[in-house]
Structure 1
Amino acid sequence: MSSRSASQRLLFAAVMLAIGGLLDVLVSISAIAQDDIFVTTQNYLFEFDLAGWGWLHLLLGLLMFGWGAFVLGTITGAAGFAARTGSAWVRGMGLALASLSLLMNFSYLPYYPLWAVVTMGVDVSIIYACTRSRPAR
Protein backbone atom coordinates (compact mmCIF):
# COMPACT_ATOMS: atom_id res chain seq x y z
CA MET A 1 0.00 0.00 0.00
CA SER A 2 1.32 3.45 -0.83
CA SER A 3 2.06 6.03 1.82
CA ARG A 4 -0.55 8.31 0.27
CA SER A 5 -3.25 5.67 0.60
CA ALA A 6 -2.27 5.07 4.22
CA SER A 7 -2.47 8.77 5.07
CA GLN A 8 -5.86 9.04 3.35
CA ARG A 9 -7.22 6.19 5.44
CA LEU A 10 -5.82 7.78 8.58
CA LEU A 11 -7.42 11.08 7.59
CA PHE A 12 -10.73 9.24 7.08
CA ALA A 13 -10.35 7.60 10.50
CA ALA A 14 -9.67 10.99 12.13
CA VAL A 15 -12.74 12.58 10.52
CA MET A 16 -14.95 9.64 11.49
CA LEU A 17 -13.51 9.67 15.02
CA ALA A 18 -14.44 13.34 15.39
CA ILE A 19 -17.92 12.66 13.97
CA GLY A 20 -18.40 9.63 16.23
CA GLY A 21 -17.30 11.68 19.22
CA LEU A 22 -19.74 14.43 18.32
CA LEU A 23 -22.55 11.87 17.99
CA ASP A 24 -21.72 10.48 21.44
CA VAL A 25 -21.71 13.99 22.94
CA LEU A 26 -25.14 14.72 21.45
CA VAL A 27 -26.73 11.53 22.76
CA SER A 28 -25.08 12.01 26.16
CA ILE A 29 -26.76 15.38 26.59
CA SER A 30 -30.16 13.76 26.11
CA ALA A 31 -29.30 10.92 28.47
CA ILE A 32 -28.03 13.24 31.22
CA ALA A 33 -31.20 15.33 30.91
CA GLN A 34 -33.28 12.12 31.27
CA ASP A 35 -35.01 12.87 27.96
CA ASP A 36 -37.98 10.74 26.98
CA ILE A 37 -36.54 9.62 23.62
CA PHE A 38 -35.01 6.57 25.25
CA VAL A 39 -36.70 3.22 25.64
CA THR A 40 -36.36 1.00 28.67
CA THR A 41 -36.02 -2.74 28.33
CA GLN A 42 -36.78 -5.07 31.19
CA ASN A 43 -34.18 -7.56 32.41
CA TYR A 44 -31.31 -6.51 30.17
CA LEU A 45 -27.88 -7.73 31.22
CA PHE A 46 -26.22 -4.30 31.02
CA GLU A 47 -28.80 -2.32 32.94
CA PHE A 48 -27.44 0.97 34.26
CA ASP A 49 -28.86 4.33 35.16
CA LEU A 50 -29.51 6.42 32.04
CA ALA A 51 -27.71 9.45 33.47
CA GLY A 52 -24.69 7.25 34.21
CA TRP A 53 -24.62 6.13 30.59
CA GLY A 54 -24.89 9.76 29.59
CA TRP A 55 -21.83 10.76 31.59
CA LEU A 56 -19.83 7.83 30.20
CA HIS A 57 -20.80 8.73 26.65
CA LEU A 58 -19.97 12.38 27.27
CA LEU A 59 -16.48 11.51 28.50
CA LEU A 60 -15.81 9.08 25.66
CA GLY A 61 -17.32 11.43 23.07
CA LEU A 62 -15.10 14.28 24.20
CA LEU A 63 -12.03 12.02 24.08
CA MET A 64 -12.93 10.78 20.60
CA PHE A 65 -13.68 14.24 19.27
CA GLY A 66 -10.50 15.63 20.82
CA TRP A 67 -8.32 12.88 19.37
CA GLY A 68 -9.89 13.20 15.92
CA ALA A 69 -9.43 16.98 16.01
CA PHE A 70 -5.82 16.55 17.19
CA VAL A 71 -4.97 14.22 14.31
CA LEU A 72 -6.73 16.51 11.83
CA GLY A 73 -5.05 19.59 13.27
CA THR A 74 -1.57 18.11 13.17
CA ILE A 75 -1.68 16.95 9.55
CA THR A 76 0.15 20.15 8.55
CA GLY A 77 2.24 20.70 11.69
CA ALA A 78 5.43 19.08 12.99
CA ALA A 79 3.47 16.29 14.65
CA GLY A 80 1.64 15.94 11.35
CA PHE A 81 4.52 13.89 10.05
CA ALA A 82 3.51 11.09 12.42
CA ALA A 83 -0.08 11.34 11.27
CA ARG A 84 0.83 11.47 7.58
CA THR A 85 3.05 8.42 7.83
CA GLY A 86 0.49 6.40 9.79
CA SER A 87 2.47 6.20 13.02
CA ALA A 88 1.58 3.25 15.22
CA TRP A 89 0.68 5.37 18.25
CA VAL A 90 -1.72 7.50 16.20
CA ARG A 91 -3.47 4.44 14.78
CA GLY A 92 -3.39 2.64 18.13
CA MET A 93 -5.09 5.46 20.01
CA GLY A 94 -7.79 5.75 17.34
CA LEU A 95 -8.28 1.98 17.40
CA ALA A 96 -8.53 1.92 21.21
CA LEU A 97 -11.08 4.75 21.36
CA ALA A 98 -13.21 3.29 18.56
CA SER A 99 -13.13 -0.18 20.15
CA LEU A 100 -14.18 1.22 23.52
CA SER A 101 -16.96 3.18 21.84
CA LEU A 102 -18.12 0.05 20.00
CA LEU A 103 -18.37 -1.88 23.27
CA MET A 104 -20.17 0.98 25.03
CA ASN A 105 -22.67 1.36 22.19
CA PHE A 106 -23.33 -2.36 22.16
CA SER A 107 -24.17 -2.13 25.85
CA TYR A 108 -26.31 0.92 25.09
CA LEU A 109 -28.57 -0.98 22.64
CA PRO A 110 -31.61 -1.36 24.96
CA TYR A 111 -31.82 2.40 25.58
CA TYR A 112 -31.65 3.78 22.03
CA PRO A 113 -31.27 0.94 19.49
CA LEU A 114 -31.18 2.94 16.25
CA TRP A 115 -28.63 5.45 17.49
CA ALA A 116 -26.47 2.69 18.94
CA VAL A 117 -26.44 0.77 15.64
CA VAL A 118 -25.53 3.90 13.65
CA THR A 119 -22.65 4.81 15.96
CA MET A 120 -21.49 1.18 15.99
CA GLY A 121 -21.25 1.41 12.18
CA VAL A 122 -19.14 4.57 12.53
CA ASP A 123 -16.91 2.76 15.04
CA VAL A 124 -16.43 -0.22 12.74
CA SER A 125 -15.39 2.09 9.90
CA ILE A 126 -12.83 3.76 12.19
CA ILE A 127 -11.45 0.39 13.25
CA TYR A 128 -11.17 -0.70 9.62
CA ALA A 129 -9.41 2.51 8.60
CA CYS A 130 -6.97 2.34 11.53
CA THR A 131 -6.05 -1.28 10.89
CA ARG A 132 -5.65 -0.81 7.12
CA SER A 133 -3.60 2.42 7.20
CA ARG A 134 -0.08 1.00 7.51
CA PRO A 135 2.33 2.87 5.28
CA ALA A 136 4.47 1.10 2.70
CA ARG A 137 7.95 0.21 3.88
Structure 2
Amino acid sequence: MAQTAPPPGGPSPTHPRTDNRPGGSPWASGGAVFAGVLLFVDGVLAVLNGIAGIAKDNVYARVGDYTYEFSLTAWGWIHLIIGVLLVITGAGILKGAEWARALGVGLAALSIVANFIWLPYQPIWAVIAVAIGVFVIWSLLTDRPRTAH
Protein backbone atom coordinates (compact mmCIF):
# COMPACT_ATOMS: atom_id res chain seq x y z
CA MET A 1 0.00 0.00 0.00
CA ALA A 2 1.48 3.34 -1.04
CA GLN A 3 1.69 6.10 1.52
CA THR A 4 0.21 9.42 0.60
CA ALA A 5 1.99 12.64 1.32
CA PRO A 6 0.80 14.60 4.33
CA PRO A 7 -1.54 17.47 3.58
CA PRO A 8 -0.02 20.92 3.04
CA GLY A 9 -1.08 22.01 6.54
CA GLY A 10 1.15 19.35 8.15
CA PRO A 11 0.58 15.90 9.59
CA SER A 12 -2.78 14.81 10.89
CA PRO A 13 -4.10 11.61 12.51
CA THR A 14 -4.85 10.20 9.05
CA HIS A 15 -1.59 11.48 7.53
CA PRO A 16 1.20 11.01 10.08
CA ARG A 17 4.52 12.78 9.73
CA THR A 18 6.67 10.81 7.28
CA ASP A 19 9.87 12.84 7.41
CA ASN A 20 12.50 12.78 10.17
CA ARG A 21 11.88 16.26 11.52
CA PRO A 22 11.27 16.33 15.24
CA GLY A 23 7.71 17.00 16.28
CA GLY A 24 6.74 19.85 18.50
CA SER A 25 4.07 22.34 19.13
CA PRO A 26 3.92 25.27 16.71
CA TRP A 27 3.18 27.38 19.79
CA ALA A 28 6.45 26.25 21.34
CA SER A 29 8.41 26.76 18.12
CA GLY A 30 7.22 30.32 17.68
CA GLY A 31 7.38 30.70 21.43
CA ALA A 32 11.15 30.18 21.50
CA VAL A 33 11.67 33.31 19.42
CA PHE A 34 9.06 35.12 21.47
CA ALA A 35 10.82 33.88 24.64
CA GLY A 36 14.02 35.54 23.43
CA VAL A 37 12.16 38.79 22.86
CA LEU A 38 10.45 38.51 26.26
CA LEU A 39 13.75 37.85 28.03
CA PHE A 40 15.34 40.81 26.27
CA VAL A 41 12.48 43.20 27.08
CA ASP A 42 12.12 41.85 30.64
CA GLY A 43 15.85 42.42 31.06
CA VAL A 44 15.65 46.02 29.84
CA LEU A 45 12.75 46.70 32.21
CA ALA A 46 14.64 45.05 35.10
CA VAL A 47 17.67 47.25 34.35
CA LEU A 48 15.46 50.35 34.44
CA ASN A 49 13.79 49.06 37.61
CA GLY A 50 17.22 48.51 39.15
CA ILE A 51 18.50 51.94 38.20
CA ALA A 52 15.42 53.52 39.76
CA GLY A 53 15.97 51.57 42.98
CA ILE A 54 19.66 52.49 43.14
CA ALA A 55 19.23 56.17 42.25
CA LYS A 56 16.36 56.92 44.61
CA ASP A 57 15.78 54.74 47.62
CA ASN A 58 12.24 56.09 48.01
CA VAL A 59 10.88 55.24 44.54
CA TYR A 60 9.05 52.12 45.73
CA ALA A 61 6.65 51.77 48.62
CA ARG A 62 8.14 50.75 51.93
CA VAL A 63 6.96 47.43 53.22
CA GLY A 64 6.47 46.78 56.92
CA ASP A 65 7.75 43.58 58.48
CA TYR A 66 8.60 41.32 55.59
CA THR A 67 10.58 38.11 55.77
CA TYR A 68 12.61 38.86 52.64
CA GLU A 69 13.19 42.53 53.34
CA PHE A 70 16.28 44.09 51.74
CA SER A 71 17.07 47.75 51.32
CA LEU A 72 15.67 49.16 48.12
CA THR A 73 19.21 49.90 46.97
CA ALA A 74 20.06 46.20 47.35
CA TRP A 75 16.91 45.33 45.37
CA GLY A 76 18.03 47.83 42.74
CA TRP A 77 21.35 46.04 42.34
CA ILE A 78 19.64 42.64 42.23
CA HIS A 79 17.30 43.79 39.45
CA LEU A 80 20.12 45.51 37.57
CA ILE A 81 22.34 42.41 37.56
CA ILE A 82 19.53 40.02 36.64
CA GLY A 83 18.36 42.48 33.97
CA VAL A 84 21.75 42.67 32.28
CA LEU A 85 21.99 38.87 32.26
CA LEU A 86 18.46 38.60 30.80
CA VAL A 87 19.28 41.08 28.02
CA ILE A 88 22.43 39.16 27.04
CA THR A 89 20.62 35.81 27.18
CA GLY A 90 17.60 37.09 25.24
CA ALA A 91 19.91 38.38 22.50
CA GLY A 92 21.67 35.01 22.45
CA ILE A 93 18.37 33.15 22.06
CA LEU A 94 17.39 35.42 19.18
CA LYS A 95 20.75 34.60 17.51
CA GLY A 96 20.10 30.86 18.01
CA ALA A 97 22.89 30.15 20.50
CA GLU A 98 22.44 26.83 22.33
CA TRP A 99 24.12 28.16 25.50
CA ALA A 100 21.50 30.91 25.62
CA ARG A 101 18.59 28.46 25.58
CA ALA A 102 19.89 26.58 28.64
CA LEU A 103 20.91 29.79 30.42
CA GLY A 104 17.52 31.30 29.54
CA VAL A 105 15.71 28.57 31.46
CA GLY A 106 17.91 29.09 34.51
CA LEU A 107 17.68 32.88 34.43
CA ALA A 108 13.92 32.78 33.90
CA ALA A 109 13.66 30.58 37.02
CA LEU A 110 15.88 33.02 38.94
CA SER A 111 13.74 35.91 37.73
CA ILE A 112 10.59 34.11 38.91
CA VAL A 113 12.05 33.68 42.40
CA ALA A 114 13.31 37.28 42.56
CA ASN A 115 9.96 38.68 41.41
CA PHE A 116 8.08 36.47 43.87
CA ILE A 117 10.19 37.92 46.69
CA TRP A 118 9.75 41.43 45.17
CA LEU A 119 5.93 40.95 45.17
CA PRO A 120 5.09 43.32 48.08
CA TYR A 121 6.97 46.21 46.46
CA GLN A 122 5.29 46.07 43.04
CA PRO A 123 2.59 43.39 43.08
CA ILE A 124 1.12 43.83 39.60
CA TRP A 125 4.45 43.96 37.77
CA ALA A 126 5.84 41.08 39.86
CA VAL A 127 2.91 38.81 38.92
CA ILE A 128 3.32 39.74 35.24
CA ALA A 129 7.06 39.05 35.40
CA VAL A 130 6.43 35.65 37.04
CA ALA A 131 3.98 34.75 34.26
CA ILE A 132 6.52 35.82 31.63
CA GLY A 133 9.14 33.64 33.29
CA VAL A 134 6.85 30.61 33.30
CA PHE A 135 6.07 31.08 29.59
CA VAL A 136 9.77 31.49 28.76
CA ILE A 137 10.67 28.27 30.59
CA TRP A 138 7.84 26.33 28.93
CA SER A 139 8.64 27.54 25.44
CA LEU A 140 12.39 26.96 25.71
CA LEU A 141 11.94 23.46 27.12
CA THR A 142 9.30 22.33 24.62
CA ASP A 143 10.79 23.82 21.46
CA ARG A 144 12.75 21.43 19.28
CA PRO A 145 15.26 23.31 17.15
CA ARG A 146 15.24 22.32 13.51
CA THR A 147 18.29 20.35 12.47
CA ALA A 148 19.76 20.38 8.98
CA HIS A 149 19.64 17.09 7.06
Kept after mapping to 1: 8 A contact 2:28/2:140: no
Question: Which structure has the greater CA radius of gyration?
Answer: 2
Kept after mapping to 2: 8 A contact 1:23/1:119: no
* Alpha-carbon spacing, 1:135–1:4, altered in 2? closer, same or farther (3 Å): farther
Pairwise CA RMSD: 2.3
More helix by share: 1
**TM-score, normalisation: structure 1:** 0.79
* Alpha-carbon spacing, 1:107–1:9, altered in 2? closer, same or farther (3 Å): same
Higher relative contact order (CA 8 A, sep 6+): 1
Partner letter of residue 119 of structure 1? A
Kept after mapping to 1: 8 A contact 2:57/2:73: no
Do structure 1's residue 41 and structure 2's residue 63 form an aligned pair? yes
1:69 Cα deviation from its structure 2 partner? 1.1
Q: How does 1:1-137 map to 2 (within 5 A)?
A: 1-2=23-24, 7-34=29-56, 36-72=58-94, 74=95, 80=96, 83=97, 87=98, 89-135=99-145
- Gaps in structure 1 of 5+ consecutive residues: 75-79
Q: Could you tell me the percent identity over the aligned residues? A: 41
The runs of at least 4 consecutive aligned structure 1 residues that moved more than 3 Å come to: 2-7
* Alpha-carbon spacing, 1:2–1:41, altered in 2? closer, same or farther (3 Å): closer
- Gaps in structure 2 of 5+ consecutive residues: 1-22
Aligned length: 125
**TM-score, normalisation: structure 2:** 0.73
CA distance in 2, matches of 1:3, 1:42: 45
CA distance in 2, matches of 1:118, 1:31: 19
